[in-house]
Amino acid sequence: MIDPAPASFATAPPAIPGHGLLTGRKAVVTAAAGTGIGSATARRLLDEGADVVVSDWHERRLAATAEQLATEFPQRFVGTAVCDVRDTAQVNLLLTSAAAQLGRLDIMVNNAGLGGETPVVDMTDEQWDQVLDITLTGTFRCTRAALAYFRGAGHGGVIVNNASVLGWRAQHGQAHYAAAKAGVMALTRCSAVEAAEFGVRINAVAPSIARHPFLDRVSSAELLDTLSEREAFGRAAAPWEVAATIAMLASDYTSYLTGEVVSVSSQRA
């Protein structure tokens, strides 16, 4: 029997202050509205000294998030761009708009994704297609647009994708989401090899579970409690704990890291 985690691990610590890892950098974060990993990532990038354009398909939530971030970081620039990652034209416009608002673009964080809980035997084509289109193909569209920008700009850049431990591990009812996240991992590896020739690094994070109010609304409390309890720390990650790793991957601290997927997880092996 495994002993319970020390009390210090049982509760998420408060977010650590920024260390200027991204001072002067310009970043765009997709699916940044609300309370999840995207908004936490935007906050962390701002706290590390970057200017940020936040993007999402939900205009009202996006505006509210941007207003909150601008209030928290009055010394930083916070821009917005409404974008549905299922639409190539909107994705291309996102990159153009972000670069125009920021003056240049150094960092692209591809956070948009959609999950669900349906066994394969009951899954419809529409359910499968929707999850794959947003989670995998949406990441592809954003990666392609960012690489086109970086290649033309000629100053290098960084892309960080949000994958999931389900790209490696099995979970009931998650075949579409797991397949999409495994695809994000493969896309990360292959595109990183191609992007190296024009000075772009591409990596991904693979969180196990990061719990926040929006996730609680779309998933059952019983399932989330069970998944959290299975973690070695006996809890889910706080969104900022995933965002901190994303910020590290976007920084020069990982200058020799590309094509890698970093697990942000306390799961037992």
Q: Is 177 a catalytic residue?
A: yes
Continuous segment of H or E residues that includes residue 51? strand 51-56
Phi-psi region of 171 (alpha: psi -120 to 50; beta: other; left: phi over 0): beta
Q: How many residues does the chain have?
A: 269
Phi, psi of 61 (to 5 degrees): -65, -35
Residues whose CB is less than 8 angstroms from the CB of residue 145 and which lie 6 or more positions away in sequence, other chains included = 91, 92, 94, 95
Phi, psi of 183, rounded to the nearest 5 degrees? -65, -40
Task: Please identify which of the residues 149, 177, 253, 256 carries the catalytic annotation.
Answer: 177
With vertex at residue 96, the alpha carbon angle to CA 256 and CA 190, rounded to the nearest 5 degrees, is: 35
Are 54 and 39 spatial neighbours (Cβ–Cβ below 8 Å)? yes
Nearest 5°: phi and psi at 77?
-90, 130
264 - beta bridge partners? 207
| Residues recognised as catalytic | 177
